[in-house]
């Protein structure tokens, strides 16, 4: 019995410690379809007698991220709101009557033994029942995330697209906040100030997590997680 309890406690600790790390690892992964796409090879051809190559910055255009390793500023402004409402109502009524009219001519003796008047109007069994259920529920949530993060071009893709990744960790007053962002951007969506809004990122994955006293108050304790795991209903 001791080993059983220790095993359940161990599972609870694993759920508490590994869940956040696994979620972060999933957000950091490069999608498989991005890995399968060929990388755009940068050419370094210099015209004969010229000081400029294909990778040189233009003298007349703004300096924007365009090569692997370049940085682009991502302005994260995400607001997600959801509301779910459900109502359920069921009702059921049933009634069953059973009577005895004739039984090999012995029905009168049976009625007499049961102190019942003879006739088919007497019910030997009468069953009835009703069942009703009514339930309603509402779930409403709202989340807002605002941040500015420097992301780096990890892979140059065809059609002037880039796969980017950025991470920021801020530690203040015993609270550690981590933001991880990955996704695909278009070269033409980068502004003249080398910034891009998060709503212009394709297949964006934004991971935000906090550790500290304030964040712990919003997390479920390990005992509550254990109870949710083993409760039968």
> How far apart are alpha carbons 59 and 233 in whole angstroms?
69
Residue with token string 């796409």: 37
Query: Which among 206, 188, 187, 208 has a CA at the least distance from the CA of 198?
Result: 206
pLDDT digits (tens, 9 = 90+) for 34-62: 888 888 876 655 556 566 655 555 555 66
Say if residues 92 and 219 touch (Cβ distance below 8 Å): no
What is the per-residue pLDDT for 187?
A: 93
Give the list of residues 6+ apart from residue 63 with CB closer than 8 angstroms, or none: 57, 194
The whole-number average pLDDT for the span 158-163 is: 94
pLDDT digits (tens, 9 = 90+) for 55-94: 555 555 668 888 999 999 999 988 877 777 777 777 777 7
What is the per-residue pLDDT for 212?
A: 63
Greatest Cα pair distance, the chain, in angstroms, is 127
Q: Which residue has the higher pLDDT, 208 or 135?
A: 208
């Amino acid at each position: 019995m001791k080993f059983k309890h220790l095993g359940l406690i161990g599972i609870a600790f694993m759920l508490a410690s590994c869940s956040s790390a696994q979620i972060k690892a999933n957000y950091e992964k490069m999608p498989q379809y991005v890995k399968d796409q060929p990388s755009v090879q940068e050419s370094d051809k210099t015209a004969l007698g010229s000081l400029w190559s294909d990778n040189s910055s233009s003298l007349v255009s703004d300096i924007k991220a365009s090569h692997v390793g370049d940085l682009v500023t991502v302005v994260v402004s995400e607001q997600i709101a959801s509301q779910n409402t459900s109502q359920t109502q069921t009702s059921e009524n049933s009634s069953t009557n059973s009577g005895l009219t004739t039984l090999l001519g012995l029905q009168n003796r049976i009625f007499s033994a049961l102190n019942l008047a003879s006739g088919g109007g007497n019910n030997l069994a009468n069953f009835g029942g009703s069942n009703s259920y009514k339930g309603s529920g509402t779930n409403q949530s709202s989340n807002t995330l605002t941040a500015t993060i420097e992301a780096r071009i990890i892979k140059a893709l065809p059609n002037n697209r880039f796969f980017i990744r950025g991470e920021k960790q801020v530690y203040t007053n015993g609270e550690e906040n981590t933001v991880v962002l990955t996704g695909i951007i278009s070269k033409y969506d980068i502004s003249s100030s080398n910034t891009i809004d998060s709503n212009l990122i394709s297949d964006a994955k934004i991971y935000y997590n906090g550790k500290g006293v304030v964040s712990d108050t919003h997390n479920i304790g390990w005992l509550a997680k254990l109870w949710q795991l083993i409760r039968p209903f």
